[in-house]
Amino acid sequence: MKNGLIKRLQHLGIPRSILLLALGGFIQSTGNALMWPLNSLFMHNILGRSLTDAGTLMSGQALVMLLGQFFSGFLADRLGARRMMLFGFVSSVLCLGLMGIFPVWEVYAPGLLGFGFANAFIFVPLNALVNLLWPEGGRRGFNLIYVFNNAGVAIGTALGGIVANYSFRFVFLFNALAFFTYFIFVLFGIPKKSISTKASPKSKKGMIAPSIHPQRKLTHDLCFAVLLPLSGGILMVWAAYIQLTTVLPIIMSQLGFSLPQYSILWTLNGIIIVTLQPLINWSIHFWAHTFTRQFYLACLLIGSSFVIFLIQPPYAFYLFAILVLTLGEMLVLPAVPAAAAQIAPGDKVATYQGIAAGAASGGRVLGPFLGGLVFDHWGGQMNWILALSFIGLAIFAFSLYAQAEHCFRLRLSEVAQ
């Protein structure tokens, strides 16, 4: 069945190696989605820890993941993206296995931190690997990984409660099995000899060529001035987006909505991501054919959803808001790693991915921190004002990205002449 699916998708012009990465990502994200929605519940109800302990540990995990993303990108460029992914898989399986076998705080706390750090050594090199294996694919490769991952999330979150009701141990052990399966996919399905260490400028159809001066210091790259506002934009998008998981459930509860009604929003999110890709492809083909336009349209859609949340509408409007927000998410989240790959010098592909991913993690740290302060002092409605402010800053950052990219293109054309 797996080979039949891969063969059918190969007819679409997608390389077998990219399809294996996407299928492995689906399995891994299904396993991981069994666990991440239940972490706080496990710490509080099973381990007997306070919510303060749980929140502190989750913030610590986000911070170590941020650091890991910077390190993994740097190391992947020097030691190889595939090798770093395999290291991340082995480390993740060990951490999850220990948490499953010894479900006590003394093992769980360092295990969760280690798991967060190990994850950074998977997903940053993964984005670099997608670019190296299919440089002419542009956004398509990143989008395929994104869709398959979210399909896994939709299934995993639906099954997580069922598995946890039987035993929390199996939540961790099944997740470890999923990561081990992905490890096997990469180890045997992505041979080292199939990976070019540098993407050729000529092979990058419709993309910007690598830096004029390879091997130069990172901050001296001409394209680094493009990467900074790009990273700033995704940081602000995530700082806004994370309000949906930190304060929205509390606000909906205060308004009288049930927990299942909140959960349905995320089920709908996954369904939209998997089923409405043709609509996104149509919008990109007919108008948002540049990354800058994709970023602007995404911010407009995401910001519009926050306006809906701000007015405290009936439940049906929450469903509509999630539809609008998810369409924005589908535009921006796969586009950022694709844009980073487009400008990255051949010897710094993973480093650029690490910086962009680290910025996204920074938003996931900044958003809950400021969101919690705003909620405690001014109430939940002000969180949507905060989120809209973040989106405004994201639009400003993406406008700087557009200017920097334009200047970079002009500089490249001058050198080419």
- pLDDT tens for residues 149-172? 989 988 887 788 788 888 889 999
Assess whether pLDDT exceeds 90 at residue 266: no
- The per-residue pLDDT of the chain, averaged, comes to 86
| pLDDT tier, 29 (very low <50, low <70, confident <90, very high otherwise) | very high
- pLDDT tens for residues 367-400? 888 888 888 888 888 999 999 999 999 999 999 9
Give 50 or 100, the one with higher predicted confidence. 100
- In the prediction, which pLDDT does 219 show? 61
10-43 core/surface letters (b: 16 or more CB in 10 A; e: else): eeeebbbbbbbbbbbbbbbbbbbbbbbbbbbebb
Q: Say how far apart CA 126 and CA 25 lie, in whole Å.
A: 10
Q: Which residue has the tokens 């180890």?
A: 187
Assess whether pLDDT exceeds 80 at residue 320: yes
Lowest mean pLDDT segment, chosen from 119-133, 293-307, 363-377: 363-377
Q: Which residue has the tokens 């927990």?
A: 259
- pLDDT tens for residues 42-88? 888 889 888 678 777 888 888 899 899 989 999 999 999 999 999 99
- In the prediction, which pLDDT does 316 show? 93
The CATH class for the domain spanning 14-197 reads mainly alpha
Mean pLDDT of 236-262: 85
Break the chain into its structural domains and give their ranges: 14-197, 218-416
Give 373 or 110, the one with higher predicted confidence. 110
User: Apex CA 255: angle with CA 250 and CA 261, to 5°?
Assistant: 70
Helices 349-378 and 381-416 sit at what angle, rounded to 10 degrees?
Answer: 160
Give 411 or 78, the one with higher predicted confidence. 78
Decide: 115 and 95 in contact? Cβ < 8 Å.
Answer: yes
Of 97, 94, 98, 100, the residue nearest 42 (C-alpha): 100
Assess whether pLDDT exceeds 70 at residue 126: yes
Token pair for residue 190?
């992505």
The CATH class for the domain spanning 218-416 reads mainly alpha
Mean pLDDT of 391-410: 93
Topology match between the domains 14-197 and 218-416? yes
Decide: 408 and 225 in contact? Cβ < 8 Å.
Answer: yes
| Percent above pLDDT 70 for the chain | 89
Lowest mean pLDDT segment, chosen from 53-57, 152-156, 226-230, 411-415: 411-415
